[in-house]
């Protein structure tokens, strides 16, 4: 059981050249609440969404905002700031484990989340890109009126500044983009790494030789084909542009913006059904205090912990809360349901004649690593500009581009029983909303991307299944916020998810036989070397797949209440007043690829919606 936590941590540790010195060390602004006062808004959770909303609300100096964040401020360690030195483990939420996964032999898995001011943006791999337009349009179809791709595009642009690569480098590396869809003056700094490995050309040419087309710009609503990975990295300094940096540090002079770190929000305080503040406690002492919000309480604790706070506050399935002695404030069976994430499958190859340097060289060759680090420190293009152990390219495709077997996979999927897949005796509203989601996925499966494939030009190939039919859940296990909730991913409870992952795996095998890649002499070493029997391969895949790519979402969904929804299209929680949710838990259905660009954009939109209803300029 613990095998997988060690496996996953080893992955992250091997993903990083460790170093201790905080090259970018700066003074941490520890403006803190000294005594309980009144704020206009209290934001629970200082991750991507929480800090983005707090940043926008405090642009008006008359509006006071308190953000309460469970984790500390990072210390600008190299492992956080320098992409190639990637080592975020100190700011992971540890130990946070899933429940035993029924379809995976009862194994429990690490639940990767950030616990730090800036949340996931401080610990993530910095990939920064949007999904297919149709995936956002599905949100609107599921009840999130006003959240289509067209509605979100202005917010994607508002959230970021894209610094284009050097023109000659871009031409030589086949990097293309559509300037009209990119942000030009937003807070998140986005760029392409100015360094590349020669093997990228093998990957690019191998992919195109088997009919995988380049995407002109994955940020234009068509994120399919092979494309270059944009990163949330400041092009000038080649350092991480986290929400802590781009949504807080830049506002160090705003006296109306406070952050209380190392503090847990334990519940929302209600007067009747009106949210009037929050109860909180230091994570190292148990003294509970309260602070009040004049205008609104805003939840942004992430998709694992926002439903926990809701349930502890009496918002969730009333019957289940009663067993903990929690009085119901709003009976919403959808709270904590609908958990989604992406599956990850690592495929390993030995290359008998790979080219040097490659995506494994920083780890395997100390001379090269030292030389690259010196270049980085001198501000020259360097392998340290790429997140540790990652490459520059990814492929994302719809199901029929991964396999010729798509129609039989779809036909089989139509016969599965939704109630069995969801488990835990789902409320009829939750079942109803899930039914709508299934038909959208089935309609779209050969049109929108369902998975990805990335080779780092060295030992790492990562496969992603990004359009899951399975659904998990988050349920409190005690009445204390300091105890972990029960996190059930529900991994491959619908076996269609395994079929899709298998299809991507087989496509990768085909890709490795393309002449441009075959020339490097790839020999599969895991997970199924030498095997060709479909069922045997699937069993091997099940043993090593990971239920999470740290892309948890959708546990307080923006859908109709009759569909198991929790918030309305203006982010307001059903059945109560002055309580809203702004993080990835509000998504009705998961998007493809990295979620962070979509979290930033959604929070930008939520900030506008909140300002509008309070008449804030
Ligand atoms: C290791 C890792 C790698 C990733 N890589 C990528 C990537 O390369 N590209 C990409 O697009 N996405 C990536 N992601 C995902 C991305 O970072 C998340 O989707 C995103 O951060 C979610 O934003 P959020 O605002 O919903 O929640 P978060 O950013 O997780 O913020 C939630 C915050 O709430 C705090 N909190 C929780 N409970 C409480 C409480 N009771 N009281 C107070 N505070 C609380 C948490 O500590 C956290 O800081 C990665 C995530 C991880 C963990
Ligand atoms: C802030 O309040 C002052 C005093 O009421 C007012 O003059 C000013 O216009 C307000 N500023 C904004 C941006 O709302
Ligand atoms: C770019 O594309 C051309 C063909 O269009 C190919 O010859 C070249 O190798 C590619 N380079 C990279 C780095 O992908
Ligand atoms: C997917 O396959 C279709 C049909 O062969 C093709 O037209 C399309 O270009 C492919 N998509 C990508 C992104 O390669
Ligand atoms: C406990 O933590 C709270 C919140 O951080 C703080 O205000 C309070 O002073 C702490 N109490 C003690 C006894 O340390
Ligand atoms: C892969 O390479 C390693 C190290 O060179 C070697 O020990 C191992 O036997 C190789 N495996 C295969 C399947 O070639
Ligand atoms: C095609 O899909 C069906 C249904 O999921 C499955 O039973 C079959 O084994 C698959 N065949 C191949 C070659 O992938
Ligand atoms: C849930 O609570 C029970 C009883 O207190 C405890 O034994 C168990 O370890 C808890 N589960 C998790 C995942 O924390």
Give 110's pLDDT tier (boundaries 50, 70, 90): very high
Q: Which alpha helices (H) appear in 414-528, and where do they start and end?
A: 418-422, 428-444, 496-512, 515-518
CA of 115 to the centre of ligand 8 (A): 21
Cβ neighbours of residue 220 closer than 8 Å, sequence gap 6 or more: 178, 181
Measured CA angle at 532 (ends 529, 536), to 5 deg = 85
Residue 31 has pLDDT above 60, yes or no: no
Residue 116, annotated ligand binder?
yes
pTM: 0.95
pLDDT in the model for residue 3: 35
Residue nearest to atom 3 of ligand 8 (CA): 477
Token readout for 387 is 């997140």
Q: Which domains does the chain have, with CATH numbers?
A: 78-246+338-360+387-614 (3.30.560.10)
Q: Which of 230, 242, 244, 579 shows the shortest CA–CA distance to 394?
A: 230
Question: Which ligand 5 atom is at minimum distance from the Cα of 285?
Answer: 1
Is the C-beta atom of 615 inside 6 A of ligand 2? no
CA of 445 to the centre of ligand 7 (A): 16
> Is the Cβ–Cβ distance between 230 and 224 less than 8 Å?
no
Give 13's pLDDT tier (boundaries 50, 70, 90): very low
Cβ neighbours of residue 125 closer than 8 Å, sequence gap 6 or more: 86, 387, 390, 594
Token readout for 216 is 């002109």
> Is the Cβ–Cβ distance between 71 and 114 less than 8 Å?
yes
Question: Which ligand 5 atom is at minimum distance from the Cα of 286?
Answer: 1
3-state secondary structure of 600: helix
Residue nearest to atom 9 of ligand 3 (CA): 201
Q: Which ligand is nearest to the CA of 534?
A: 7
Return the residue matching tokens 């707090």.
Answer: 54
Residue 596, annotated ligand binder?
yes
> CA 131, CA 119: separation in Å to the nearest integer?
21
Is the C-beta atom of 62 inside 6 A of ligand 2? yes
Residue 14 has pLDDT above 70, yes or no: no
> CA 25, CA 36: separation in Å to the nearest integer?
31
φ, ψ of residue 351 to 5 degrees: the values are: -115, 120
Question: Which ligand 7 atom is at minimum distance from the Cα of 503?
Answer: 14
For 329-367, the three-class secondary structure string (H helix, E strand, C coil) is: CEECCCCCCCEECCEEEEEEEEECCCCCCCCCHHHHCHH
Q: Which of 171, 202, 205, 393 to mutate to test the pocket of ligand 3 (most atoms within 8 A of CB)?
A: 205
Give 286's pLDDT tier (boundaries 50, 70, 90): confident
CA of 175 to the centre of ligand 3 (A): 10
Strand partners, 464: 344, 452
Cβ neighbours of residue 197 closer than 8 Å, sequence gap 6 or more: 355, 357, 358, 359, 361, 383, 391, 392, 457, 458
Residue 595, annotated ligand binder?
yes
Residue nearest to atom 13 of ligand 7 (CA): 405
Give 2's pLDDT tier (boundaries 50, 70, 90): very low
Strand partners, 350: 523
Give 185's pLDDT tier (boundaries 50, 70, 90): very high
> CA 577, CA 295: separation in Å to the nearest integer?
10
| pLDDT tens digits along 412-456 | 999 999 999 998 889 999 999 999 999 999 999 999 999 999 999
- How many CA atoms lie less than 13 Å away from 614 in the CB half-sphere? 19
Is the C-beta atom of 611 inside 6 A of ligand 2? no
Return the residue matching tokens 């494994």.
Answer: 360
| pLDDT tens digits along 546-604 | 999 999 999 999 999 999 999 999 999 999 999 999 999 999 999 999 999 999 999 99
> Is the Cβ–Cβ distance between 292 and 276 less than 8 Å?
yes
Residue 1 has pLDDT above 60, yes or no: no
Measured CA to CA in angstroms, residue 581 lies from 37, 248, 554, 558, 567 at distances of 22, 20, 11, 9, 7
Average pLDDT over the chain, rounded to whole?
Answer: 93
Question: Which ligand 1 atom is at minimum distance from the Cα of 303?
Answer: 26
Token readout for 497 is 């998810």
pLDDT in the model for residue 109: 97
Q: Which of 342, 341, 344, 316 shows the shortest CA–CA distance to 330?
A: 316
Q: Which of 129, 55, 138 shows the shortest CA–CA distance to 558?
A: 138
pLDDT in the model for residue 285: 78
């Amino acid at each position: 059981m613990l095998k997988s936590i060690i496996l996953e941590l080893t992955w992250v540790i091997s993903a990083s050249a460790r170093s201790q010195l905080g090259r970018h060390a700066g003074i941490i602004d520890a403006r803190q609440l000294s005594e309980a006062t009144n704020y206009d808004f209290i934001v629970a959770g200082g991750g991507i969404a929480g800090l983005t909303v707090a940043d926008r609300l405090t642009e008006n100096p008359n509006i006071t905002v308190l953000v309460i964040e469970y984790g500390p401020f990072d210390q600008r360690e190299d492992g956080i700031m320098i992409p190639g030195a990637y080592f975020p483990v100190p700011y992971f939420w540890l130990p946070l484990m899933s429940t035993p996964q029924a379809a995976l032999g009862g194994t429990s898995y690490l639940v990767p989340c950030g616990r730090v001011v800036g949340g996931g943006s401080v610990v993530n791999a910095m990939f920064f890109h949007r999904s297919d337009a149709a995936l956002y349009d599905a949100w609107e179809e599921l009840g999130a009126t006003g959240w289509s791709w067209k509605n979100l595009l202005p917010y994607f642009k508002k959230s970021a500044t894209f610094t284009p690569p050097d023109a000659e480098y871009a031409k030589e590396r086949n990097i293309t983009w559509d300037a009209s869809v990119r942000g030009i003056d937003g807070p998140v700094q986005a760029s392409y790494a100015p360094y590349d490995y020669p093997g990228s050309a093998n990957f690019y040419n191998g992919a195109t030789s088997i009919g995988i087309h380049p995407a002109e710009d994955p940020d234009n609503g068509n994120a399919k084909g092979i494309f270059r990975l944009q990163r949330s990295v400041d092009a000038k300094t080649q350092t991480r542009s986290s929400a802590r940096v781009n949504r807080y540090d830049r506002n160090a002079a705003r006296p109306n913006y406070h952050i209380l770190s190392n503090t847990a929000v334990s519940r929302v305080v209600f007067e009747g059904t009106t949210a009037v503040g929050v109860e909180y406690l230091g994570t190292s002492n148990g003294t509970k205090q309260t602070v009040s919000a004049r205008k609104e309480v805003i939840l942004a604790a992430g998709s694992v912990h926002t439903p926990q706070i809701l349930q502890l506050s009496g918002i969730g399935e009333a019957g289940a809360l009663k067993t903990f002695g929690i009085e119901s404030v709003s009976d919403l069976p959808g709270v904590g349901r609908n958990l989604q994430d992406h599956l990850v499958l690592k495929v390993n190859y030995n290359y008998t004649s790979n080219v040097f340097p490659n995506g494994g060289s920083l780890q395997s060759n100390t001379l090269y690593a030292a030389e690259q680090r010196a270049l980085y420190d001198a501000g020259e293009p360097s392998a340290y500009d790429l997140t540790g152990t990652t490459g520059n390219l990814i492929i994302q495709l719809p199901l029929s581009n991964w396999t010729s077997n798509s129609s039989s996979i779809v036909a089989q999927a139509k016969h599965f029983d939704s109630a069995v897949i969801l488990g835990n005796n789902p409320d009829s509203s939750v079942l109803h909303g899930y039914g709508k989601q299934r038909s959208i996925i089935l309609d779209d499966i050969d049109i929108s991307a369902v998975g990805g494939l990335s080779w780092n030009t060295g030992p790492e190939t990562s496969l992603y299944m990004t359009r899951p039919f399975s659904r998990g859940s988050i349920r409190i296990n005690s009445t204390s916020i300091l105890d972990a909730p029960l996190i059930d991913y529900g991994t491959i409870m619908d076996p269609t998810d395994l079929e899709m992952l298998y299809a991507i795996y087989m496509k990768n095998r085909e890709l490795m036989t393309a002449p441009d890649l075959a020339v490097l002499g790839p020999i599969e070493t895991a997970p199924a070397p030498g095997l060709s029997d479909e069922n045997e391969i699937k069993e091997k895949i099940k043993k090593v797949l990971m239920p999470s790519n740290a892309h948890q979402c959708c546990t307080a969904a923006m859908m109709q209440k009759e569909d198991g929804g929790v918030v309305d299209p203006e982010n307001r929680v059903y059945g109560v007043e002055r309580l809203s949710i702004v993080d990835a838990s509000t998504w009705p259905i998961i998007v493809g690829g990295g979620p962070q660009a979509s979290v930033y954009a959604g929070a930008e939109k939520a900030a506008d919606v909140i300002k509008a209803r309070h008449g804030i300029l």
